[in-house]
Structure 1
Amino acid sequence: MKYLLKSILIASSLSFLIACGEQDQQQIIYQAQAIESADECHLCGMLITNFSGPKGELYREDRGDKVHKFCSTRDMFSFYLDPENKRNVTTIYVHDMSKMPWDEPDDGYFIDAKTAWFVVGSEKTGAMGKTLASFSQQSDALAFAQEFGGEVLDFNQVDQASLM
């Protein structure tokens, strides 16, 4: 009987530890990282800080805590929209352009791209020419589109055609 109780106690402890381990894995939220002067765009290899406009970052579940940084939101979406990448991406950040000047993106204002609003087709350009202006508030995106042209889309509406 003593052996049976000890076995049950060990099994219960292991189940608890496994459950806690799984819960910890699900709760990992990666933070946006500062863009350093030597950081290169994951897609095109250009130095990120040499260009104006919003930048992007993302994490893939199969790469652990390695952040992929992009010189523009357009390059970030070009990478993300590839089906192989899309299913593996866990976290995506973009600059909130309502909080900073276009020519000086501030890494203190990264927002979750999945909740952001994007202006495509504006007259503003980024590292590779056309880019998607990113905003935390729809009203800011609409005001930007009214001033600089373009169409306002939410994250799920951005597709390959939006990048042309």
Structure 2
Amino acid sequence: MNGVYFKASRVLAGVLVCLALVACDKAQSPPAAEAALAFHPADECHVCGMVITDFPGPKGAAVGASGTKKFCSPAEMLGWWLQPENHRDDVELYVHDMGRSHWNTPDDAHLIDARTAYFVIGSGLEGAMGVVLASFSDPKAAQKLASETGGKVLRLDDIDQKLLGQATAMSPMSH
């Protein structure tokens, strides 16, 4: 009887080791979706064609059935997405969380869902050409920037083409 228990415990130990190795392997390799969202020096904005990493501030990415489209700013991404032919619920929208990232070099490890983000407009911070929308996951961080700079906190539902057009007309071009 002890032989049966000994063999069973060896098999169980082997299974546990295999499961641990599989779990370790999964933890080390980033998901394919995360890798597709990373911004590289050669990436060009889907809207304006400019090199995305040439500008400070948050970037945007839209992921849908047709692939990943990258943008030099949340405003460029939202301007594209708000067009009737692109305004679809099955498109995932991502922006950098500037509460956890440096303004001049946003960290792709801190991309958040734009549908849940808080955006600060009118901060005076430099970004890509046109309106600058600073994006945050934390409403307190967004409100702090807005209070310090005279900006205003918005949610995705507050942003439309008219707002983006008005803000662009009133803001100086960075580049």
How far off its partner does 1:37 sit? 0.6
Query: TM-score, normalising length from structure 2?
Result: 0.71
Corresponding letter in the other structure for 1:157: D
**What is residue 59 of structure 2 aligned with on the other side?**
55
Query: TM-score, normalising length from structure 1?
Result: 0.76
SS at match of 1:162: helix
SS at match of 1:74: helix
SS at match of 2:91: strand
Matches within 5 A, 1:1-164: 30-31=33-34, 33-61=37-65, 63=66, 66-87=67-88, 89-163=90-164, 164=167
Count matched residues: 133
Distance 2:154 2:89 in 1: 23
Distance 2:47 2:147 in 1: 30
SS at match of 1:140: helix
Stretches of structure 1 lacking an aligned partner (at least 5 in a row):
1-28
Quick one: percent identity of the two aligned structures? 48
Cα deviation digits, residues 35-69 of structure 1 (max 9, x gap): 011000000000001000100000233x1xx1000
Structure 1 residues 145 and 123: CA distance shift in structure 2, 3 A: same
Greater share of strand residues, 1 or 2?
1
Distance 2:90 2:49 in 1: 20
Kept in 2, the 8 Å contact 1:116–1:155? The answer is: yes
Stretches of structure 2 lacking an aligned partner (at least 5 in a row):
1-31, 168-175
How far off its partner does 1:88 sit? 6.1
User: Displaced runs of 4+ in structure 1, greater than 2 A?
Assistant: 29-32
